[in-house]
Amino acid sequence: MPEIVFRISPALSNEQLNALFITAWEDHQARDFQPVLRHSLLYVCAYDGEQMVGFVNVAWDGGIHGFLLDTTVHADFQHRGIGAKLVQKAIEAARERGLEWLHVDFEPHLSEFYRRCGFRATDAGLIKLIADQPE
């Protein structure tokens, strides 16, 4: 098996991202990722040969705060350390671009993963803006 290669902000198509997300997210519906990618500070992709097997996005506020979003690893490649490596590459690249803070929100079952990646628990707030959709 070829070595997993990580790339910062390569050209990506909706087809590539949707193909990855559908393997990892139970209710994923195909969508247009291009507006999100255009407004991201950076994103990191993992490849096994030519196949994209991982993705994480770093959105930002235009200043010193970044937001880690959509950490995703292809279902056939999970539990091999690819997710942690994606996050570490994102942290390094965000630091190189001058961010001082990197935030992440996650579901409770992922707390140990993000703690191992170097994140610490903080107080935060959240408000749901669309009341008619399930939480």
Mean of per-residue pLDDT scores for the chain: 93
Domain annotation covers residue 96: yes
Q: What pLDDT is recorded for position 135?
A: 57
pLDDT at 94: 97
Residue 124 has what pLDDT? 86
Q: Is residue 35 part of a domain?
A: yes
Cβ atoms of 77 and 107 closer than 8 Å: no
Determine the pLDDT at residue 132.
Answer: 67
Q: How many domains does the chain have?
A: 1
Q: What is the CATH number of the domain that holds 45?
A: 3.40.630.30
Q: Which domain holds residue 33?
A: 4-116
Question: Which string of DSSP letters, residue by residue, matches 106-134?
Answer: --GGGHHHHHHTT----------S-TTS-
Tens-place pLDDT, residues 83-129: 999 999 999 999 999 999 999 999 899 999 999 999 998 888 888 88
66 in a domain, yes or no?
yes
Instruction: Note the pTM of the prediction, 2 decimals.
Output: 0.90
Q: Per the domain annotation, does 131 fall within a domain?
A: no
